[in-house]
Amino acid sequence: MSKEFEADVPDSIRPFLNEIATSLWARRAAVMVGAGFSKSAGDEFPDWNQLGDLLYQKAHGVKPDPAKQKYLNVLRLAEEVQAAIGRPALENLIRSNIPDLDNEPSSLHVELLELLWVDVFTTNYDTLLERASAKVVIRRYEPVVNKEDIPYAIKPRIVKLHGSFPSDRPFIITEEDYRRYPHDYAPFVNTVQQALLENTFCLIGFSGDDPNFFHWIGWIRDNLGREKMQKIYLVGVFDLSIASLQLLAQRGIVVVDLSCCHGIEKHDHKKALSWFFEYIRSKKPDALDWPCNPKTMHPAHGADRMQEVQKITEEWRQQRQAYPGWLILPHGNRENLWVFTKAWVNYLPDTEKSPPGLDIEYVFELIWRLERCLLPVFNNIAEFCEKLLEKYWPFQKGNPPANCQIRPGEEKFQDLKWDDLRQAWLAIAVAMLRFYREEGYLDKWREAENRIKTLSDHLSAEQREFLNYEGFLFSLFTLDLPNAKQRLENWRPNEAQPYWMAKRAAGLAEIGLLSEAETISRDALENVRKKLNQKVGTTDLTLVSLESNAMLLGKYIQDAAALEKGEWGTLQDKRTQFNDRWNELKGFKCDPWNEIKLFELTLKNPPVERKIVTEKRELDIGRVTRSRHFSSTDQEGLSAYAFLRFCEEVGLAFLIGNYTLTTNTAVGSLQCISRFSFFWAVATLVRVGDTKAVDNLFSRESVYRFTANEADQLIQSYLDALNKCRDDIRSGDAFRNDSYGVRLAQLLPEIMSRLCCKCSIRTKRRILEFVTELYASTDKTKYRNVKNLTERLIISLSEVEQYSIVPDLLKIPFPEDLNLLVKDEFLNPFLLLELNQKPECAPAMEIQPGLVDHLFRQAALDNSDRRRWAITSLVTLHKLQLLDDSQSKKLAGAIWRVTDHYGLPDGTDFYKFVFLRLPHPDNIDPVQRFKNYVKSTPFPTQKNKQDRGVGITAGYIPIVPEIIGANRNGGSIWTAEDAVEILQRLLEWWDADKDRLSEKEPATAGFPSISEEFRSRFSRLVELLAEVVGPKLSADSLDNIKTSLSRLLKEIREYELPVLEAEAACLHLYPEQKADVYQRINEALISNQDNIEKDGLKAIAKIILGGIDAETSSLQPDPVFMLSQYLTWRPAYSITPALWIVVRILKNSPTSFSHSLEAATQRRLSRLLTETAYDNDNPDLNFDEKLEVRRISSILAAALWTYYNLRSLSVPEVVEKWREACLSPDEFSEIRNAWGDCDTV
């Protein structure tokens, strides 16, 4: 409404209109709609007098004569009509003369219902209001036509007081109806009474002499008394006598006659009500739309910077002073504020040229706006703030910075507004304190806290409370649980500060003090509501938003407490009460639940990688459109920051006990902010306590960014944190994960395990000490991910380093008192060593005899777990040549003391074939026992089973690795006769089950099909042919054996199973097939099927490394040439199997390392050095693929370096480059370790 239009409102009615508007927008106004309002939908609708004329005609047979005295009582007329024609006919008369469905609701009906009425009451029978409500988008009204519906209907309601078309009867119309109404329809009367008690009441569509109206007022006045009723306003255009006005006034009714307004005629009811609704809308509080009408979105192009800064600073100051007081600026308002702020983030004034005070006032206003937008201080602003805090010292006392330029007392600065500067300086200092915590500048944080504390006399009450909360958060961010508890203990917010009481309660709940937190949160909410009750007649948005946040925290804490006590069901009744009040608070945009939901929708998906240049393939063949994106705004990152700031502002913990509220959203935010604020992200991860989310921050790509020194510092801080939390860990419940200390115990081992590949050997030693202490601890069952920590620690060590820690591993005790949840977490660490023998360059080592004797005593026990542990340790010591002859002999007795029904050692961590090469008693033949075991163990022939069901093996058949294992590791026990016997068994298995490969039964969800399962099974059959049967048979084998094997290979190929490796292993049996096999190997290497391609490579390896005659005709490529070609042109993501073959050739068959293969290897390594560089943007390799290719390339380069040095040849430049890159201290350990022993060559 324009100011000119508002000026036309007469003073006689302005206060009444404003009172109605104020009450309505505060949700404290109700309206009753009379018959006159229906006329806006059509003139055919009768008003009360026209209805009386209709009844008169029906009762007397003639129309009333206007010249004669008119009837006085319409209700009496209705009584007479009912007596004459009966009740049904009377109601039918009413229905037939009110054209309800013949008319659509008018725009006035919609305008009325769009206003924030608490309830809408009507004495009308028509359904215009109900039908109009369907057109109202912003509100939902629930119709009430029967008194029985009142308790269940949710406000706002359309309450039909006198019945409703088409069939909700009786229609209240006769004098008797009105007499009995207070008794028969008491719920309706009580509802209106309650509305009059609580709300301003408007009457619309009534005339001054409407009997409906007079009866209702009479009933209310009789029950309540005039003094207890809120004001009642009769709104419309009227032609009332002085006596009528006085009568209405006596009954507590204020007449708001709109005919006195300019442009509204006496009988223009429709225009008058339209004007009334418009006026009410115009008085909607601007506070809910803050910032109202912002003017300047960005700096003017080419304008003077200082003038622009001065202008925007003043504009921002006015907006700040008009801020309604929300604790959390609502989402839509935040977005609007950010639109008018973001262009200024990089528009900072020159501190040297800025007039005194302007630069600090500008940044103060900018940071205030960023905080309202729930955004942190950006790095460029932080640097600027540090300069300002050095430049200004707006205090009379204290120690100003050395570079301070502006301070009180100097004459040239006496006109500055020092109170404003102090406010700005302190606000910036507090904001920087928060910035230092978020970014992990710990020393700066401590220094800033100490400096601010010296200025405590100048701090506001809010700032002092903020310092307490900030100190608590700093303790959480630095994982210092004892200090966090101490800070909460020392922090006692005044009851006049319920906002901080609630935040302290949330802090107590987060660290496990749930009972105390529940009490304090309840008191905080009670204190807020006391303050609200003192603000009668006004709405304080600060208090209202404080209440909504206190309710959120209170309910969160109560729910967590109920879950802990097992009293979840008791909360159901309270939820309804909470929901009712929350729905009311939403009207003031105080809805933290909706904020949480919006953040969840934004952050639930992984962040999208944004590229500067994107390509789009067009419809036209070969046409590609490239787009360059210049926007640098990371909207997901901003949303993640806003969410984390929101949680801090509200005091919301991500996890209380075992109860979560925003955990998934917090996890979603981690990846978004980790690129910019890693320390903040890690602190959030720890507070979330979700081990599964560790990969979001500590993936290989993320860990690559750490230097060795940074990894050392992080690990040390985590070890310190666990040490400080021992008491909390001891008292916590590991299964329920109900305390902060337990969350650390379950999360930090996993994080440290991922940093092992980056940290120094000194830190690895500290981790080993921690693991040793943990194995011996009585609290070990509270920890998780210990296996990952131990395994990754050992893997990160070179062979020599692994050998050097053997005495330390022996000091790790057998873990006592493990439960089923953690039993697999505490493995014998010797199982994780990647050593099968003592490294050649490792120095000599002696093991304390007492440690070995202890292991032998453990091995002699009946406790199977202790025996298993001891046997594993002793076998490892034997393999590493750390047992003397007498100890090795004693080991034989310990191993074979307990045997299975095959006579082989039982209850150990090893395959059975391992014992073939370990000490054994003189009276035992391990080879014969093992062969008996193999003979008596069947292959999984499905046809021989009575059960028709097919078990899922995924290709794991235990007997297969046993047979193959006995063929490797320094010797083979299998003879040609054994090979024939195994072949016969394989033929029986194949012939029995091969038809299952043709079955077409589709796979069920999550499981392979029948044919897929049997393909997996028979792949192990092929492996046995390639590793045992083929190599053990000779050209002199019987023809029937060779014929059977040939048939088997042919049929396997016909079933399209990869069989080239087995065929290559059998070429000495079928030399005439060499050309065909080589041709198919060459074709396999260019296949687009991964399994076929790998089979071709295995075949090449089998030929080259197996000593099979590889001589071919000049027209056929030999295997070495094929491998060279493969290395040359194959893409990097699939090159690793070929690189491994070259490594094996260098170590096991160096004479096969031909000049062509050497040249191809060097060329490929040169390309891979660039392709696998971590910072190289290679679209063909993701980071994990780069890492795998780089690891194997480093092993190959190291093998080449050894190869050339052993032969006293010059090392090629590409190998030297790989050596330099891999030995960087910041390289991953697994890659660097490939070179660990090269220097000794």
pLDDT, tens digit, 9 for 90 and up, residues 367-392: 999 999 999 999 999 999 999 999 99
Question: Looking at residue 3, what is its pLDDT?
Answer: 45
Dump the DSSP string for 874-891: HHHHHHTT-S-HHHHHHH
Q: Which fold has domain 4-45+104-285?
A: Rossmann fold (3.40.50)
pLDDT at 668 over 70: yes
Name the β-bridge partners of 168.
164
Name the β-bridge partners of 905.
899
> Counting Cβ atoms within 10 Å, is residue 740 exposed (0-12), middle (13-18) or buried (19+)?
buried
Average pLDDT of the residues of the chain: 88
pLDDT at 212 over 80: no
- The first and second tokens of residue 613, run together, are 């240049």
Whose tokens are 């926007």? That residue is: 631
Residue type, 963: I
Question: Looking at residue 953, what is its pLDDT?
Answer: 87
Dump the DSSP string for 931-964: HHHHHHS----GGG-SS-PPP--TT--THHHHHH
Q: How many CB atoms lie within 10 A of CB 500?
A: 22
**Where residue 225 falls among pLDDT bands split at 50, 70, 90?**
low
**Where residue 228 falls among pLDDT bands split at 50, 70, 90?**
low
Cα–Cα distances in angstroms (integers) from residue 100 to residues 113, 125, 133, 946, in the given order: 18, 9, 15, 79
Highest mean pLDDT range out of 121-135, 189-203, 464-478?
464-478
- Backbone φ and ψ for 32, nearest 5 degrees, come out as -120, 130
H helices within 61-208, ranges in order? Answer: 74-85, 87-97, 107-114, 128-133, 175-184, 186-198
Question: Looking at residue 570, what is its pLDDT?
Answer: 59
**Where residue 574 falls among pLDDT bands split at 50, 70, 90?**
low
Lowest mean pLDDT among 117-126, 425-434, 1000-1009: 1000-1009
The Cα–Cα gap between 962 and 351 comes to 77
pLDDT at 588 over 90: no
Residue type, 412: K
The Cα–Cα gap between 455 and 546 comes to 28
pLDDT at 1239 over 70: no
Whose tokens are 């050894």? That residue is: 1202
- Backbone φ and ψ for 694, nearest 5 degrees, come out as -60, -35
Question: Looking at residue 392, what is its pLDDT?
Answer: 95
The pTM for the full model equals 0.80
The Cα–Cα gap between 530 and 612 comes to 55
Taking alpha carbons only, the member of 198, 189, 191, 118 closest to residue 157 is: 118
pLDDT at 7 over 70: no
Lowest mean pLDDT among 136-140, 664-668, 802-806, 1115-1119: 1115-1119
> Counting Cβ atoms within 10 Å, is residue 107 exposed (0-12), middle (13-18) or buried (19+)?
middle
The Cα–Cα gap between 506 and 625 comes to 53
Question: Looking at residue 1160, what is its pLDDT?
Answer: 96
Q: For 588, what's the count of Cα atoms within 13 Å in the CB-facing half-sphere?
A: 24
pLDDT at 1241 over 60: no
Question: Looking at residue 166, what is its pLDDT?
Answer: 80
Percent of the chain residues past pLDDT 90, beyond the cut: 62
List all residues 6 or more positions away from 982 whose beta carbon is below 8 Å from its beta carbon: 934, 963, 974, 1024, 1028, 1029
Question: Looking at residue 2, what is its pLDDT?
Answer: 45
The Cα–Cα gap between 858 and 564 comes to 42
DSSP class of residue 1225 equals T
The Cα–Cα gap between 1185 and 1163 comes to 20
User: Between these two residues, 292 and 1084, which has the higher pLDDT value?
Assistant: 1084
| CB of 782 closer than 8 Å to CB of 742 | yes
Could you state, in order of their start, the residue ranges of all structural domains in the chain?
A: 4-45+104-285, 46-97, 302-459, 1119-1241
pLDDT at 629 over 50: no
Lowest mean pLDDT among 395-399, 808-812, 1195-1199, 1226-1230: 395-399
Lowest mean pLDDT among 94-103, 395-404, 1199-1208: 94-103
Taking alpha carbons only, the member of 973, 965, 840 closest to residue 910 is: 965
| CB of 593 closer than 8 Å to CB of 578 | no
Lowest mean pLDDT among 115-129, 211-225, 936-950: 211-225
Lowest mean pLDDT among 840-849, 867-876, 985-994: 840-849
| CB of 164 closer than 8 Å to CB of 196 | no
Say how many residues make up the chain: 1241
**Where residue 831 falls among pLDDT bands split at 50, 70, 90?**
very high
Strands (E), 98-156: 120-122, 142-144
Q: What is the pLDDT of residues 1002-1021, one digit of tens each?
A: 766 667 888 999 999 999 99
**Where residue 630 falls among pLDDT bands split at 50, 70, 90?**
very low
The Cα–Cα gap between 706 and 695 comes to 15
Lowest mean pLDDT among 298-312, 351-365, 993-1007: 993-1007
**Where residue 1176 falls among pLDDT bands split at 50, 70, 90?**
confident
Whose tokens are 């014992």? That residue is: 915
Question: Looking at residue 214, what is its pLDDT?
Answer: 67
Q: Residue range 681-707: average pLDDT?
A: 91
H helices within 303-356, ranges in order? Answer: 305-321, 331-339
Question: Looking at residue 568, what is its pLDDT?
Answer: 63
Taking alpha carbons only, the member of 1208, 1206, 1239 closest to residue 1219 is: 1239
Q: What is the pLDDT of residues 431-487, one digit of tens each?
A: 999 999 999 999 999 999 999 999 999 999 999 999 999 999 999 999 999 999 999
Taking alpha carbons only, the member of 945, 829, 806 closest to residue 879 is: 806
Q: For 174, what's the count of Cα atoms within 13 Å in the CB-facing half-sphere?
A: 17
Lowest mean pLDDT among 55-59, 113-117, 451-455: 55-59
| CB of 1228 closer than 8 Å to CB of 758 | yes
The Cα–Cα gap between 662 and 1132 comes to 42
- What is the largest distance, in Å, between two alpha-carbon atoms of the chain? 140
The Cα–Cα gap between 697 and 678 comes to 8
3-state secondary structure of 1097: helix
List all residues 6 or more positions away from 218 whose beta carbon is below 8 Å from its beta carbon: none
List all residues 6 or more positions away from 182 whose beta carbon is below 8 Å from its beta carbon: 189, 219
DSSP class of residue 32 equals E
The Cα–Cα gap between 1167 and 998 comes to 44
Cα–Cα distances in angstroms (integers) from residue 708 to residues 88, 356, 496, 550, 703, in the given order: 94, 46, 50, 45, 10
Q: Give ∠ CA 474-475-476 in degrees, rounded to 5.
A: 90
Q: Residue range 292-314: average pLDDT?
A: 91
Question: Looking at residue 1236, what is its pLDDT?
Answer: 74
Question: Looking at residue 4, what is its pLDDT?
Answer: 44
| CB of 33 closer than 8 Å to CB of 204 | yes
Q: Residue range 1123-1142: average pLDDT?
A: 94
- The first and second tokens of residue 176, run together, are 């008797």
- The first and second tokens of residue 836, run together, are 């099968």
The Cα–Cα gap between 1230 and 642 comes to 39
> Counting Cβ atoms within 10 Å, is residue 872 exposed (0-12), middle (13-18) or buried (19+)?
buried
Number of continuous H segments (helices) and E segments (strands) in the chain: 56, 11
Lowest mean pLDDT among 524-533, 610-619, 777-786: 610-619
Question: What's the helix, strand, coil split of the chain in %, to 5?
Answer: 60, 5, 35
The Cα–Cα gap between 1231 and 1241 comes to 19
| CB of 339 closer than 8 Å to CB of 345 | no
- The first and second tokens of residue 1099, run together, are 């075949």
Q: Residue range 308-324: average pLDDT?
A: 93
